[in-house]
């Protein structure tokens, strides 16, 4: 796909009709309609995240998206349109997040001190 700036995490809505992806260098979440043949149409900005570099994402039961953002070092809960309802600061860089537990209400976050391969190996 042309014009997508470093695609990262993706989710598909429960009805199977919309794919949403994190554009890390685009500072946004982008949505597409999923056609019956699997092609994507109707590209649109789901949420503008100025100053945030989204990486891994997950969808919650209310339709909001949890976003792991190594810069600025937070995990955000974002509603369609870009309204941030929750902002969790972590001591390292969050790269992925997932809801789990019996009722899918526990937020798990994968963090690291760096994404630089040499630093991570050390």
In a domain, residue 38? The reply is yes
In a domain, residue 73? The reply is yes
In a domain, residue 2? The reply is no
Give the mean pLDDT of 109-121. 88
In a domain, residue 99? The reply is yes
Average pLDDT, the chain: 95
pTM, two decimals, is 0.92
Assess whether pLDDT exceeds 90 at residue 120: no
Q: Does the CA dihedral 34-78-8-48 come out positive or negative?
A: positive
Give the model's pLDDT for residue 86.
98
In a domain, residue 13? The reply is yes
Tokens of 65: 């998206």
- DSSP assignment of 36-83 equals TTS-EEEEEEEEE-TT-B--SEEE-TTS-EEEEETBTTEEEEE-TTS-
In a domain, residue 78? The reply is yes
Number of domains present in the structure of the chain: 1
Query: CATH number for the domain including 110?
Result: 2.120.10.30
Token pair 């019996």 is found at 102
In a domain, residue 1? The reply is no
Rounded distance between C-alpha atoms, residue 27 and residue 49, angstroms: 5
In a domain, residue 72? The reply is yes
Please give the residue range of the domain that contains residue 101: 7-121
């Amino acid at each position: 796909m042309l014009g997508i700036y470093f695609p990262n995490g993706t989710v598909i809505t429960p009805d199977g009709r919309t794919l949403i992806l994190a554009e890390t260098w685009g500072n946004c979440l982008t949505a597409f309609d999923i056609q019956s043949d699997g092609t994507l149409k109707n590209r649109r900005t789901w949420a503008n995240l100025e100053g945030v570099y989204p990486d891994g994402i997950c969808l919650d039961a209310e339709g909001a998206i949890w976003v792991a953002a190594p810069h600025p070092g937070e995990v955000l809960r974002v509603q369609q349109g870009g309204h941030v309802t929750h902002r969790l600061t972590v001591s390292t860089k969050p790269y992925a997040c997932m809801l789990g537990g019996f009722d899918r209400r526990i937020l798990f976050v994968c963090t690291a001190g760096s994404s630089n391969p040499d630093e991570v190996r050390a």
